[in-house]
C-alpha cells in the first residue's frame, strides 16, 4: 500500500470513529469538519483532511471558523503532511491561530517489547454499572468535566451501522484501575481509544495491559490495520512505541481562541 493511501484510510477511520460517538461530519471536499458540541474539546471537534488545492485558503478558513463559532466551539485545524497548499499553516498563523503541538498517528507494526504486569485483569465492560465505571475512568484520566458523563455513556452508533466499539476494564484486586476502547469502522481498520488509568493505579502497567489486550482482540478481528493517536513526544507515545506501534504521520494542531 502506498504511504499516502494509508494516510487517507487512517484519516477517514478517525472521522468515522468520531461519527460513531455522535459527531457531526461534513465533507466539503477541500476540508472535513467533525463537530460535537456536546463534547467541546479539541479531540472531538476538528477540521481535517485539508486539501484546498487551488481554491481560496481564506474561503476554507472562513467557512471552518463560522461553522465552529455557530456551535460555540473554538475553531481547530489538524493539518496532515499532504495539506495543500503547503503554506496553509502560515495562513492560519496570520489569522490568529495558535500552534498547539502535534498529534502522532501510529499503526501497529511489530511484536510488543513489553508484557502485561501480573495482577491486572482485563474484562469487557458489561452493563450499566461497568459503563459508569468506564466513563468515570475516562473523565478522570483526561480531566474532562463530570457533566459530560451522560453524553459519553451514549452507545457507539452511526447511520451506516459500520462503527462498533468494545470497552474493556482493567481491574486490580477487583478495583477498577483503567479503561480502553477498541473501535472498528468496517474498512479493515481498528483503533485503540480512550486509554485511561485511575490516578491511584498509575505507573503500574495498566495502560500496557489494556493495549496488549486490544492487540489480542485486533488479531482475532480480521482487520488489517490497528491505529491510535497520541501526543507526539509524550510518555504515552514512548510506551506505544515499546508495544510495537510506529509513526504513520504527524498532525499539526492549530486553534483560534
pLDDT mean values, one per 10 residues, the chain (257 residues)? 91 94 92 96 96 88 98 97 94 96 98 95 96 96 94 69 90 96 94 96 97 98 97 96 98 96
Tallying the residues shown for the chain, one arrives at: 257
Burial code of 115-141, b = ≥16 C-beta within 10 A, e = fewer?
ebeeebebeebeeeebbebbbbbbbbb
225-231 and 189-197 as β-strands: parallel, antiparallel, unpaired?
parallel
Distances (CA, A) of 122 to 67, 130, 161, 202, 243: 41, 12, 27, 16, 17
Distances (CA, A) of 166 to 29, 53, 75, 190, 244: 31, 38, 30, 11, 21
Structural domains in the chain plus CATH codes: 3-105 (no CATH), 120-248 (3.40.630.30)
Task: Report the pLDDT value the prediction gives residue 159, as an integer from 0 to 100.
Answer: 54
Task: Report the pLDDT value the prediction gives residue 22, as an integer from 0 to 100.
Answer: 86
Task: Report the pLDDT value the prediction gives residue 155, as an integer from 0 to 100.
Answer: 66
Task: Report the pLDDT value the prediction gives residue 239, as an integer from 0 to 100.
Answer: 97
Task: Report the pLDDT value the prediction gives residue 240, as an integer from 0 to 100.
Answer: 98
Task: Report the pLDDT value the prediction gives residue 160, as an integer from 0 to 100.
Answer: 60
Verify cis geometry, omega within 30 degrees of 0, for the bond prior to 85. Answer: yes
Sequence-distant (≥ 6) Cβ neighbours of residue 79 within 8 angstroms: 50, 88, 89, 92, 251, 252, 254
Amino acid at each position: 500500500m502506498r504511504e499516502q493511501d494509508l494516510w487517507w484510510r487512517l484519516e477517514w477511520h478517525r472521522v468515522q470513529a468520531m461519527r460513531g460517538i455522535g459527531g457531526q461530519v461534513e465533507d466539503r471536499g477541500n476540508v472535513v469538519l467533525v463537530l460535537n458540541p456536546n463534547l467541546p474539546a479539541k479531540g472531538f471537534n476538528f477540521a481535517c483532511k485539508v486539501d484546498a488545492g487551488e481554491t481560496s485558503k481564506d474561503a476554507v478558513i472562513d467557512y471552518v471558523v463560522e461553522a465552529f463559532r455557530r456551535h460555540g466551539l473554538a475553531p481547530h485545524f489538524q493539518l496532515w503532511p499532504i495539506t495543500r497548499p503547503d503554506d496553509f499553516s502560515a495562513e492560519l498563523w496570520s489569522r490568529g491561530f495558535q500552534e498547539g503541538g502535534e498529534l502522532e498517528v501510529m499503526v501497529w507494526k511489530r511484536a510488543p517489547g513489553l508484557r502485561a504486569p501480573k495482577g491486572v485483569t482485563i474484562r469487557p465492560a458489561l452493563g450499566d454499572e461497568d459503563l459508569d465505571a468506564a466513563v468515570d475512568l475516562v473523565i478522570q484520566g483526561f480531566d474532562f468535566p463530570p457533566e459530560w458523563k451522560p453524553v459519553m455513556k451514549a452507545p457507539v452508533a452511526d447511520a451506516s451501522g459500520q462503527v462498533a466499539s468494545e470497552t474493556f476494564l482493567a481491574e486490580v484486586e477487583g478495583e477498577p484501575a483503567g479503561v480502553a476502547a477498541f473501535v472498528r469502522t468496517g474498512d479493515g481498520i481498528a483503533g485503540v481509544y480512550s486509554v485511561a488509568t485511575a490516578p491511584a493505579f498509575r505507573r503500574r502497567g495498566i495502560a500496557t495491559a489494556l493495549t496488549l489486550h486490544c492487540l489480542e482482540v485486533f488479531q482475532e478481528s480480521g482487520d488489517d490495520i490497528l491505529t491510535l493517536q497520541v501526543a507526539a513526544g509524550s510518555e504515552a507515545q514512548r510506551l506505544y512505541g515499546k508495544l510495537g506501534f510506529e509513526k504513520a504521520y504527524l498532525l499539526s494542531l492549530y486553534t483560534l481562541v
